């Protein structure tokens, strides 16, 4: 359960970073030569989240049952889009597109906070039942 919450926290970090990157793009809409950036959608995060939801054994000692080793990697990174140009000054920021991406990211963030809240609510429920 805590591994899932940890992975959801990683998703929240990604959403926060993406919000900052998109806001930076919008802030530099009128900056000549500015190239927009975005946070990559790495599929490793989705695979890792699925793996945590369906855990397998891992071997932390030679006497343990064989399993998979778990190495932590950053599931996202910031990349700059140098392939397009929207205007003659070299800027490639489309404010309408950036606002849609910002709203999409906001929904993503809200869904992750809801999932974390539900998981922690389950934990609170278990703790409350144990006190009676």
Residue 93, CA distances (Å) to 26, 61, 79, 107, 131 in order = 7, 51, 14, 22, 56
pTM reported for the whole predicted model = 0.69
How does pLDDT run along the chain (132 residues), one tens digit per residue?
677 888 888 889 999 999 999 999 999 999 999 999 998 866 655 565 566 555 555 666 776 655 444 445 556 788 888 888 888 898 999 999 999 999 999 999 999 999 999 988 888 888 887 665
- What are the C-alpha distances in Å from 18 to residues 49, 79, 123? 19, 11, 29
Residues of the domain holding 116? 2-84+93-131
DSSP result, 7-40 = HHHHHHHHHHHHHHHHHHHHHTTTSTT---EEE-
């Amino acid at each position: 359960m805590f591994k899932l919450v940890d992975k959801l926290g990683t998703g929240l970090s990604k959403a926060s970073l993406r919000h900052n990157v998109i806001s930076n793009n919008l802030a530099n809409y009128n900056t000549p030569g500015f190239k927009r950036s975005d946070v990559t959608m790495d599929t490793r995060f989705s695979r890792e989240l699925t793996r945590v939801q369906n855990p397998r054994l891992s071997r932390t000692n030679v006497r343990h049952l064989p399993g998979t080793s778990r190495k932590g990697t950053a599931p996202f990174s910031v990349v700059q889009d140098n392939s397009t140009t929207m205007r003659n000054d070299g800027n490639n920021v489309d404010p309408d597109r950036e606002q849609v991406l910002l709203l999409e990211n906001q929904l993503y963030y809200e869904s992750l906070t809801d999932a974390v809240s539900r998981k922690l609510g389950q934990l609170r429920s278990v703790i409350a039942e144990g006190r009676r």
